[in-house]
Amino acid sequence: MATSFKIGYAFEPNKKTFITDAIVDESKQRGIDLIKIDTDKPLAEQGPFDCILQRLSNEIRIKQLEEYSSLNPDVLIIDPPSKIEVLHDRYSMLHCVEDMMKTNRPENEIGMPTFGIPKQVLVTDVDSLMNVNAEGGLKLRFPLISKPEMVDGSIQSHELSLVYNLNALKKVHTPVVLQEFVNHGGVMFKVYVVGEYVKCGKRNSLPDISEEQLDFEKNPVPFSQVSNKPSQEHSDHMSNEEMRIEDAVMPPDSLVTCIAKGLREATGLHLMNFDLIRNSRISNHYLVLDINYAPGMRKCLLMNLF
């Protein structure tokens, strides 16, 4: 009988695992043993493992994992906590895109797609907040997307808002990352990356915003409250959101693969996804908005990534 490949998986006890009994059985038929790691016991007493798949956030458990890795350098950790750390800061995470753009941009020929990141700024205090659009400053254009700087798993870290004007900007809590909102046809492309395998899907996003709307809202508007009004093309059989997704053209595979490859090299991560939009005002230009570590793994499984 062929020797099996042993993968230990470690998740925080309060987090749901995407590894079901069916997945364990299917993996075993392919020569892979999926072994649940007991996070209440020393990692050194468990195993042996060829690979460890981890989603830990507890500092003590992370330290144990790092110590285990140093004593067992041949065991692949997917992914090391030190590499995931860069994705906890919404501002610095996009620096990865800027770095990889220098060496992984597709040939910039006429008609070929290009990519980049939204214009953004990190604001750490109220005084700096009021200087965002000051003379000589970054000069961001409204509307803006307001994002808490740190991604720490809390509800607050995922409370994103739209800021339509200066009055609303005054009410934003710092520290915050402000990004220019870019009209993108109400469709976002979600790109899942598992090692060298890349899968792109499309989903509903925020609707486009007109200049006339910028004076209406005097407070930051949470994403969940942004209006999705039906368009003139509304069908009795299909919602406005479904129509937008149905009509959206997928980005070229070459572009998606290029960005995924560059992000893998820049971050050193095996599991991630990133949000991509097409700029409605600039033909064939795409923007990377966010990079997330191993989110929606159940969706990945359904999309046959494993």
pLDDT the model gives residue 137:
56
pLDDT > 60? residue 106: no
Q: Name the pLDDT band for 295 (thresholds 50, 70, 90).
A: low
Structural domain boundaries, residue 50: 5-78
pLDDT > 80? residue 231: no
CATH number, position 150: 3.30.470.20
- 184 vs 226: CA distance, rounded Å: 15
pLDDT > 80? residue 1: no
The rounded mean pLDDT for the chain is 85
Number of domains in the chain: 2
Is 158 annotated to bind ligand? yes
> Among 19-28, 100-109, 202-211, which stretch is predicted with the lowest mean pLDDT?
100-109
Residue range 45-71: average pLDDT?
93
Q: Are both 47 and 168 inside the same structural domain? A: no
Q: Are both 68 and 191 inside the same structural domain? A: no
Going by C-beta distance under 8 Å and a sequence separation of 6 or more, which residues neighbour residue 185?
208, 244, 248, 278, 280
Q: Are both 184 and 213 inside the same structural domain? A: yes
Q: Which two tokens stand for residue 58?
A: 């507890």
pLDDT > 70? residue 66: yes
Which has more confidence, 152 or 131? Answer: 152
Q: Are both 68 and 124 inside the same structural domain? A: no
pLDDT > 60? residue 234: no
Which has more confidence, 110 or 203? Answer: 203
Is 147 annotated to bind ligand? yes
Is 15 annotated to bind ligand? yes
Which has more confidence, 226 or 35? Answer: 35
Q: Are both 216 and 103 inside the same structural domain? A: yes
Q: In sequence order, which ranges of 79-219 are alpha helices (DSSP H)?
A: 81-84, 90-93, 95-104, 126-130, 166-169
Is 237 annotated to bind ligand? no
Is 5 annotated to bind ligand? no
CATH number, position 23: 3.40.50.11370
- DSSP structural state of residue 144: E
Q: Name the pLDDT band for 149 (thresholds 50, 70, 90).
A: very high
Helix (H, G, I), strand (E, B) or coil at 150: strand
pLDDT the model gives residue 109:
57
Q: Are both 164 and 289 inside the same structural domain? A: yes
Is 137 annotated to bind ligand? no
Q: Is residue 236 part of a domain?
A: no
- Given 21, 56, 78, the domain boundary residue is 78
Q: Are both 54 and 179 inside the same structural domain? A: no
For 267-285, the pLDDT digits (tens) are 999 999 999 999 999 879 9
Q: Name the pLDDT band for 108 (thresholds 50, 70, 90).
A: low
> Among 62-71, 108-117, 201-210, which stretch is predicted with the lowest mean pLDDT?
108-117
- Percent of the chain at pLDDT > 70 equals 85
Q: Are both 195 and 273 inside the same structural domain? A: yes
Beta bridge partners of 203: 188
pLDDT > 70? residue 166: yes
Q: Is residue 83 part of a domain?
A: no
C-alpha torsion angle, residues 52, 54, 62, 58 (rounded to 10): -150
Degrees, nearest 5: CA angle 139-144-149: 100
Is 132 annotated to bind ligand? no
Q: Name the pLDDT band for 20 (thresholds 50, 70, 90).
A: confident
Q: Is residue 235 part of a domain?
A: no
Q: Are both 169 and 289 inside the same structural domain? A: yes
Is 299 annotated to bind ligand? no
pLDDT > 70? residue 296: no
Q: Is residue 202 part of a domain?
A: yes
pLDDT the model gives residue 34:
93
- Residue where the block lists tokens 């020393």: 42
Is 171 annotated to bind ligand? no
Is 111 annotated to bind ligand? no
Residue range 96-119: average pLDDT?
76
- Given 48, 78, 108, the domain boundary residue is 78
Is 183 annotated to bind ligand? yes
DSSP track, 172-204:
PPSSEEEEE----TTEEEEEEEETTEEEEEEEE
- Given 78, 99, 117, the domain boundary residue is 78
Q: Is residue 139 part of a domain?
A: yes
Q: Name the pLDDT band for 102 (thresholds 50, 70, 90).
A: confident
Q: Which two tokens stand for residue 30?
A: 């392919």
Is 159 annotated to bind ligand? no
Closest CA to 83 of 274, 270, 290, 300: 270
pLDDT the model gives residue 103:
67
Residue range 231-256: average pLDDT?
73
Is 179 annotated to bind ligand? yes
CB 12 within 8 A of CB 39: yes
Q: Is residue 193 part of a domain?
A: yes
Q: Are both 136 and 73 inside the same structural domain? A: no
CB 190 within 8 A of CB 273: yes
Using CA of residue 150, residue 152, residue 153, residue 156, what is the dihedral sign?
A: negative
For 124-141, the pLDDT digits (tens) are 887 777 776 655 555 789
pLDDT the model gives residue 235:
47
Q: Is residue 238 part of a domain?
A: no
Q: Is residue 234 part of a domain?
A: no
Q: Are both 22 and 57 inside the same structural domain? A: yes
- 292 vs 245: CA distance, rounded Å: 22
Cα-based distances in Å from 252 to 25, 102, 106, 189, 271: 36, 20, 11, 11, 21
pLDDT the model gives residue 69:
95
Q: Are both 190 and 292 inside the same structural domain? A: yes
